[in-house]
Structures are given as C-alpha cells and as structure tokens.
Amino acid sequence: MLPVVRVLQLVNEMKETAPPAQVLKYFLSRTLVMGISRCAAIVPENLTYRFCICLTMLAYWCLPGFRRLARHHLEIAFGKEKSPEEIEAILRQTYVNYGRNLAEFFMLPYKSSEWIEKRVKFNDPQWHIRTQLEKGKGVIGLGGHFGSWELVSARLGLHKYPIVIIVKAQRDAIFSKFVMDTRTKWGNEYIFRTRGIRDECLRQLGMNKILALVADQNVSRFGIFVDFFGRKASTATGPAYIAMKTGVLIVPCFPARNQDNTVTLHVLDPIPLRDTGNFDEDLVHNVQLCSKAIEDFARRHPTEYFWWHRRWSTRPLDDE
C-alpha cells in the first residue's frame, strides 16, 4: 500500500482536476492492483503465473465478444494457411501468454533489478542500436504490440539505454497516471502522442536517443493504406516519415517469450528505406516495409501478438 503521506499528496494533486468519483475509482483500482502485486511479490512465482493465466482464461470464456474478435483477426491473418483447429490453438495460447505478461506486470513493482535482468535477454548480434548511438545520430526503434513489453522496457531502463517511448494516453486520465507510475519506475522516459508530437520526436533524435514507435494499430485519420496480412490496413506513417526526414535508421525491435519463460528482445536488421526523390511515393513504400516487418514477426510468433486490436476497422473508400 502507498504511505499515508503520499496518498494525501496524490489526493491534493487530483481533487482540483478530477471529480470525486474518479479519484475514488483511481484509489480503489490502485489498491486492488497494488494488493495483487504485493501478493505476487510474496507468493511463489509459479502461483502468480498460474493465477494470472486463470484470469485471462476466465476472460476467454466469460468475454465471448473479445474472443470472437481475436479469432476473426487470426482468420484474416492465417485463414488461408491454417485450419480452424490450428487457429483456435493459437488463440488459446495467446490468452495464456498474456496471462504471463499480466503476472510480470504485477510482479514488476516489487522485484529487484537482478530479477529483471535474469528475465530478459537481448538478441542484437550486429549491435545495430549501439552502433547508431555511437555515431551520435539516434535511432528509431520500430515496435509492435508483442509479448511482455512492460518487462522488456524495465530491462531497457536498467541498462541505461537513452530510450524515449511514445505512447497513447489512456481514456481514463487517472488510470493513465497509475500505469505511467509503474512504467517510469525503472528510468524510462515516456511521451504521450499529442498534436505536434513529430516536432518533439525530431528534437529527441537530435539528442541522440532511441525513439521507440509502434505502427501496428488502426489509424482512423492521416494513415496510409498498406497491406497487413494481405488486407489493406490504415497505418501510421510516423516511423517512416521521421526516418526519411532525418536519415536515421529504423531498427525493428520485438520481444518474444522463450520456452524457459524468459523473454528475448529481438533486434532485427534495419529497414532498407527507399529514396528515389519522390517523397510521397517513397513514403507509401517505406510504410509498407515497416508493416511487413511487423507482419513477419507476428507470423513467426503468432501467440505473442495482441490480436484484439481492431487493425482493419478503417476501410479504403473504394473498398467493397
């Protein structure tokens, strides 16, 4: 539980900007989550993993709408190459993996730095990230919604990588604050995606930092339609646009769980951006390359991907 003095400080910070019901909701949810985290820090890890897997499997059975949504997306991605039984097996294992991710999120606030270091491995055989930082140019880390990212980001913070992670604020501002309190504990820097964010991204790259961007969610406005698993998807242009403007490399970085339940962050080869002098055409081509990198990793590790995103909800005007 939070110390009483800190609780009073938070109340004073919130009461001027949030209605009492929201403040109460925040502290009740925080108390519940922190209570589970406390238990997770005391009980054997296997029990925490089992408990959280039971929670996600309970969601599998009790929230059929979300289950059908994820299965539909898996059918879009693999329906032509996998049987319904294989797709169902991937779906169930995805729920199991996200139960493990949830367990690690609960355990993070009370685990030691040594525990985090043992849980996360790096696979960057060509030292792409370090090489770019040594050149003083900064680098764009292309991410996606894979695996136990909260655990991996904590490991990056402990390793003192100069990483700036661009995130979308939660709809509930108070819950967003709770999540960010947990995320920033290990020294990472986060920036909310708002108007003018591209200028801030350019500024951060100019400071020789790793700019972590994701590009695998539906973009309702200002996206570019490119293929994702053979179907047009409105896709964020940010990583490709910024790289083309600055000349920095885009290095895909995706985590995946290992058989021993550790997590490896796979740092892949930089994306070979095209530059023909026609910026608009090159942008479409390069956004497609970013999308393909995410798709390829999801094909290799389908049970690590977050299939609940409504990736194809925005359709082209000429789509039938």
Mean pLDDT to the nearest integer, 171-177: 60
Q: Please give the residue range of the domain that contains residue 209.
A: 118-304
Which residue from 49, 151, 56 is spatially nearest to 100, judged by alpha carbons? 49
Is 276 contained in some domain?
yes
pLDDT band of residue 192 (cuts 50, 70, 90) is confident
pLDDT over threshold 80, residue 310: yes
- Rounded Cα gap, residues 314 and 235, in angstroms: 10
- Rounded Cα gap, residues 215 and 223, in angstroms: 10
- Rounded Cα gap, residues 61 and 292, in angstroms: 32
Is 28 contained in some domain?
no
Is 295 contained in some domain?
yes
215 φ, ψ to 5°?
A: -145, 45
What's the pLDDT tens digit per position in 11-48? Answer: 455 555 667 776 677 677 667 776 777 787 788 999 99
Tally of structural domains, the chain: 1
Is 127 contained in some domain?
yes
What's the pLDDT tens digit per position in 67-115? Answer: 999 999 999 999 999 999 999 999 999 999 999 999 998 888 888 899 9
What's the pLDDT tens digit per position in 41-57? Answer: 788 999 999 999 999 99
Is 166 contained in some domain?
yes
Is 43 contained in some domain?
no
Left if phi > 0, otherwise alpha if psi is -120 to 50, otherwise beta: which for 229? left
Place of tokens 């491995």: 121
pLDDT band of residue 8 (cuts 50, 70, 90) is very low
Please state, in angstroms and as integers, the Cα–Cα distance from residue 59 to each residue in 56, 103, 282, 309, following that order.
Answer: 5, 15, 43, 16
Is 55 contained in some domain?
no
Is 168 contained in some domain?
yes
Evaluated on CA atoms 185, 188, 193, 195, the torsion sign reads positive
Other beta carbons within 10 Å of 175: 17
